[in-house]
Amino acid sequence: MNKHVTVAEIGPRDGFQSISCMMIPTETKLEIIEAILDSGVKKLQCTSFVSPKAIPQMQDATQIAQTLLEKHPEVDLFALVPNFRGAQSAVEAGLKTVSPVISLSVSHNQNNVRRTHEQSFDELKRIMDTFPELNIDLDVATAFGCPFEGRMTVPALVDFVGKLYDLGIRSFNICDTIGVAYPTQIRETFQALMAAYPDVHFSVHIHDTRNMGILNSLEAVRCGVDTVQTTLGGLGGCPFAPGATGNTATEDFVYLLDREGYETGIDQKKLLAAAKLEVEKIPGNYSGHHIHINVEQKGF
């Protein structure tokens, strides 16, 4: 079993986009991101190139990306892009990796990006043909369950990934968008995916809606997944998926990995300090547990 796990922090996108009670100043975003990176995080989803009308919090995407690219060339920075225009903006900002998103559920794909599967596939092919040098790490949303269609099946997911594989995609992020997965489902899913596509890199993104985020993320790691997406403080929740409340908290998951003997390269105490800074600066829906511990406990 691979004992190194890459913990990919996606709070600057999935966490910040969930905030509707205030516009987060760009300076505040960068302050929190700097604290995250200071803890040793080396892979970070810094923003999303979406329409400001759809998600106003992401209107400073270019500034965020360019600032971080200039200051932190050693960090693997990437952004979510819902369409060709978003990918083009990401390339113009200087990013080398993007995450287009296509939902396994037809209904959620229509609700999230306003496209059928066929339209999303065509848009993805256009991105790949226009920017062949761009690294694609594709998000498969609602991979385990959908708020509109219910539970998704493993054969349906394997077949769906196969269609994207045929387009040339070799890196997938499998997302539990509304937090309905459970360990047996996680295990069956990744065993099937890895058996069917041994040359593909799979990562995972688990929402903590039902307090299963850490359990399911660890199960994925035990199946051989070496990259897990989490958000600082567990902030977030998909705005286009009813019931998706909160993500797996980065500082909680790093704590668990440390004690299970996995290597992350992240200082959990510094990460926890970053999470507490975020709670202080931004009111939101946090699912994290360590952020509520205010007394230092010796030996822990």
Residue 221 structure tokens: 């790691």
Among candidate residues 262, 153, 127, 138, the one with its CA nearest the CA of residue 202: 138
Distance CA 200, CA 216 (A): 20
Mark whether 238 is an active-site residue.
yes
| Burial of 62 (C-beta count, 10 Å sphere; 0-12/13-18/19+) | middle
Retrieve residue 159's tokens.
Answer: 């077949």
Q: How far from 80 is each of 142, 194, 198, 283, CA to CA, in Å?
A: 16, 24, 25, 23
Neighbours of 130 (CB within 10 A): 12
Locus of tokens 């009813």:
242
72: Cβ contacts below 8 Å, ≥ 6 apart: 37
**Active-site hit among 146, 175, 223, 238:** 238
Q: What is the DSSP string of 176-188?
A: ETTS---HHHHHH
> Position of tokens 């990562």?
203
User: What are the percentages of helix, strand and coil residues in the chain, rounded to 5?
Assistant: 45, 20, 35
Cα angle for residues 292, 11, 183 (degrees, 5° grid) = 75
Concatenate the DSSP letters of all residues of 234-298 into one string: G----TTSTT---B-BHHHHHHHHHHTT-B----HHHHHHHHHHHHHH-------SGGG--S--T
Residues identified as active-site: 238
